[in-house]
Each structure stands twice: as C-alpha cells, then as structure tokens.
Amino acid sequence: MSDYGVEVLWVLILACLGLSAVAVVFSVFQRRHSHTPAVTYSAGEDVASEAARKVLREFEKNGHSADAALITWSPDTLRKILAGYLPETQVIVVSNREPYIHNTRDDGVELLVPASGLVSALEPITRACAGTWIAYGGGTADRLTVDKNDRVEVPPDNPSYTLRRVWLTEEEYRGYYLGFANEGLWPLCHIAFTRPIFRASDWEAYEAVNRKFADTVVAEARNERPIVLVQDYHFALLPRMIRERLPEAIIITFWHIPWPNSEVFSICPWRERILEGLLGSSIIGFHTQFHANNFAESVDRFLESRIERADAAISYGGQTTLVHAYPISVEWPAELLAKLPDVDQCRARVRERFALKADVKLCVGVERLDYTKGILDRFRALEELFTKHPEWVGKLVFLQIAAPSRGTLPAYRQLHNECRRYVEELNQRYGSEDYSPVLMVDKHHTQEQVYEIYRAADICMVTSLHDGMNLVAKEFVAARDDEQGVLLLSTFAGASRELLEALIVNPYDTAMTSEALLQALTMTPEEQRERMRPMREMVRDNNVYRWAGSMLLDAARLRKRGDLDRVMGNGERPSNNNNVIPMFERIRKAVS
C-alpha cells in the first residue's frame, strides 16, 4: 500500500473513533435527560418541598448524598419531609431523661430544662414534628403538673408537643437505671477502665421497665404505623417489645454512646437478649461508622444472622435492620442565642459572676460529673502547664461546670471526691488571696447559662476518655458567632471526626494536652477565626435537623418499599408481620 493509502486509512480510523465518541456522549446525555425531568415549581410549591424530594431520591447512599449538604436543614425541612413522605405519621420519642422537669420549691413549682446533649438534640426535633415524647417523670412536682392521662403540653411558653411521663418505683429506678444501665452497660461500652457490674435483679428490673415503656408507646400510638425514635442504652429491649405489639411501626433506635468490640461485649451475661432486642428496630443508628461496625461484629459473633455489609443491613429472624452512622449535632441557629447579649456582654457578666480579673484567660469545661469525661486529666494538664510555664500562674483560670450525676453510685462519689481534692491542691499550690486557678461548680445549669459561659470563654476543653459524640464541642462552636475562641478536643470523642480544625489531643497524654493548652492560650485572633469559621460551617450544614432528617428519610424509604411489596404481593401483608423489607433480597430476585 502506498504512503497516500496509509494516510487515508488512518484518517478513516480516526474519523470512526471520533464519531463513536460523539455517539457515546450523546447517548449518555439522552439517558440522563430522559430519566431526570427538569425541576419546575408550581404556585403552591416551594424550594423546601423540592429539596426534600431530591434528597429522598439520593438517600440510597446511606444518608450521605451530595445534595443533602446543599440543603438548609431547618424545622421547616423536617415538616416538609413528614408531610411529603410520611403524611399523617405520628412521631414518638422515647428516652429516659425528660426535656422539662418540674420540681417543688418553697415558693411553688420550678421548671428545669436539663443541660443535656440528648435533650438539646431531640427537643427542637420533637417541636418541629409536633410529636409525643415519652420519658421517666422524676421531678418532685412532675405528678402535680400532668393531666389525668399523665400528659403535659410543652414548652410552657409555646406548647408544640406532648410530654408523656412514665412513673417508676424507687426499686425499679435503682435496678433499671442506676444498676443495669449505669453500673453495667455504661462502663461496658466506654473504655474508661471501670469494671461493669451485672446483677440478675438489675436485669429483671431493666426488663420490666422496658416492658412498661413499651406499654406506654402502644397506648400513645394513634394507629399501627407510628415512627418511634428510641433513645440510648436504657432501652435495648424496647424495640423488640414494640415490634411484637406494633409490627407495622418504623422503629429507629439511636445508640448515643460507643458500642464496644465483640470481645468486650461478650462480658455481658445477657448479650444475646440485648442484641435480639435491638434488632427489633427498623434502623439502628450510631454516631460513627466504627461503632456501627462493632455492633455488626457483635451480632455476627453471637447470633445466627446474615450480615450484608454492602447494604449496611443485618438479617435476623426474618427481619432486616439497617445499621447506619448518623452523626448527631445541635440546633442551628441555636434558638436561645437570640435571648443572650453579644459576646462582650456575656464576657462581662461571667467575669463579674466569678470575680475574674479582666486580664486573665478563661478556660472552661462543661459536662456531667462522669468518669468518662476526663475531668481529672484536664486538671493534670493544667498542673503540667503551670509547672513548665509558671508565667501563666495568675493569668489563667479554669472554670469547670460539673453537673452532679448518679451520685449514689460508688464510682461517681469517688470521682467527685477526687476532683474536689485535686482542685483544693491546685488552688493551695498556685492560688493566692485574690486568685484561684480552678473554679469547680458542681450544680446544674440551664442551657442559657451554659451558652453564656461558652460565649465568655477563651478556650473550651472537651477531653473525653471515650465518647459517642460529645455535643459540648458543637455547642461551643455554635455559640461563637464572633468566630473567636479555641476548642481543645479529645481524639476519643466522636466530634473529633468532624471538627478537624480543633486542637485534637490524647487526654491520656498529659504533656501533649498541656502543650495544646499553651498553643490555645497564645493563638492569635486571626488563627482562631481561621479555625472557627470552617467548624461553624460544618455545624451549620450538619445540624440536628439534618441528623433527624437523615433518619426520617431512611424511614420513608423503608415504608415506601414495604407498601410496594404489599402491592406486589396482591395486597397481603408479609407473613412475618415485618414492614422492613430486605432490599438485597429484592435485588437478587430481580436479577435472577
């Protein structure tokens, strides 16, 4: 073949390749546009409605769609999801702790809103959904403030949902809450080197109280298909008990604390019963994927089950449960910030309240008095700082807000005494007549008081030895609309997976924590702003409404698939009364 013929052949080959590429691009273009109609809005629609629809389509990705990050998550978004995808659905929240506590005082009844991470996360959601919150009524005036059905409308100044109180005897409370939940499960799930204690009598009380709450859920359900949000380690048996009575309910259980590895979990004498109880859930949520994986491994080791890791699902006893990570967060914007003055005024008020000099740096810690929070470890870091950098003596005050917690348990009494002794030693060694380096306030504070302290602080220390999330870190960030302040955050808190611009520390490493504290004390306002700004953006975009919306969207997806299966099955309900559909089973049947 001549050179001219070779050139012509190459031209033809290149032309064919070019035409093929054009055809592929055109085919992809046509396919996309034939399956994705253009977004239009009628006069009665708004952007929030369309946003909710878009997220529902994308939520096949285990709650982590790209579109979800583009939505402004708010109470209105939750209402749109409920109205659009779960119409007429009742939302029931179940927790041990109640969002409003009534106590008797000499001058009448006092209303207390506990400074609790769980309450601060769930309360705005229950308001947005106009739901029912079922909780233990432990306030001394709680019985005086309910109606004949043990209900009270809350919040008092703007009633928007129902609080249903459950009454427990002193014996039930000791066995279920102080005993099995907090002397057994709590230390079992936290790596804080406190031995869990398991007693048969505590287990019996735990089982009985879970049954009592199940009876209350059934009594409060307006129909057979509510969405029930079960909260935390107090109710590991509750999902299965509800499932037996309300087989068409969507049950979402959120485990707020870490889940241990299977070797540690094997310590529990009733491990199989706990796993079976939790697998009564439609969805089980954890803060991090690591804890979700630990749960799946525990199920795989102790129950005859099928783990579908690709689908993030567990099949057990004819039912499939989704196991997902849903990082919890806080309200954005925080409603109570509107009640507070600006940062300068908050600083002035806090400094006046605690008699702080104008030139001292204020470092704060805010939590329950608990051995998992690393309170003693931050005192050690402070002592290390004063030893290596004595120039900071007199220029730094550490304010520890430590709400009393479980004070009748020996481990907590011991911790309280140790903290008190350590504070006295530090103040004697480094203090003077007009200066105390450590102020420990062991009393309850309202959320408004806590946020005022956040806004007044130069540094916030969150040094958990082990934590599911720890919302103090996110609350501090949300409170700092001045984009100032430094967050010192334990690597063992779930929040460290998200708040990457914080100073991340190992609280067991006293020298490291001390050096990070020095870095925080000397950090320029410009660097504080550069670190605080992206953290605030993260908390804004991944707020508590997105956390709740993610679970509700998964619930809507499950309900839709359950309804579809009943239609495909000639309208008959599944024989196992299970409204949770094993997605991978349908996929296998479709391709077989």
Confidence of residue 8 (pLDDT cuts 50, 70, 90): very low
Identify residue 25 by its one-letter amino acid code: V
| Peptide bond connecting 155 to the previous residue in cis, omega within 30 degrees of 0 | yes
Confidence of residue 391 (pLDDT cuts 50, 70, 90): very high
Asked if the model's pLDDT at residue 220 lies above 80, the reply is yes
Task: Report how far residue 549's alpha carbon sits from residue 71's, in angstroms, rounded to the nearest whole number.
Answer: 11
Task: Report how far residue 161's alpha carbon sits from residue 152's, in angstroms, rounded to the nearest whole number.
Answer: 9
Task: Report how far residue 22's alpha carbon sits from residue 242's, in angstroms, rounded to the nearest whole number.
Answer: 57
Contact call for residues 161 and 154 (beta carbons, < 8 A): yes
Distances (CA, A) of 48 to 53, 81, 544, 548: 9, 9, 17, 16
Element (H, E) at 110: strand 108-112
Contact call for residues 168 and 176 (beta carbons, < 8 A): yes
**Secondary structure of 277-320 in HEC code, one letter for each residue:** HHCCCCEEEECCHHHHHHHHHHHHHHCCCEEEHHHCEEEECCEE
Name the nearest CA neighbour of 266 among 302, 241, 237.
302
Asked if the model's pLDDT at residue 12 lies above 60, the reply is no
pLDDT in tens, 39-66: 333 333 343 344 444 433 323 334 455 4
Name the nearest CA neighbour of 62 among 314, 413, 311, 375.
311
Tokens of 154: 């809350």
Contact call for residues 210 and 241 (beta carbons, < 8 A): yes
Task: Report how far residue 328's alpha carbon sits from residue 232's, in angstroms, rounded to the nearest whole number.
Answer: 13
Judge if pTM exceeds 0.85.
no
CA-based diameter of the chain, in Å?
Answer: 111
Q: Where are the beta strands (DSSP E) in 113-249?
A: 132-136, 151-154, 161-166, 227-231
339-343 average pLDDT score: 93
| Peptide bond connecting 124 to the previous residue in cis, omega within 30 degrees of 0 | no
Asked if the model's pLDDT at residue 180 lies above 90, the reply is yes
The predicted structure's pLDDT at residue 446:
84
378-402 average pLDDT score: 97
Q: Which residue has the tokens 């806004």?
A: 455
The predicted structure's pLDDT at residue 76:
87
Distances (CA, A) of 451 to 142, 165, 291, 356: 26, 28, 29, 18
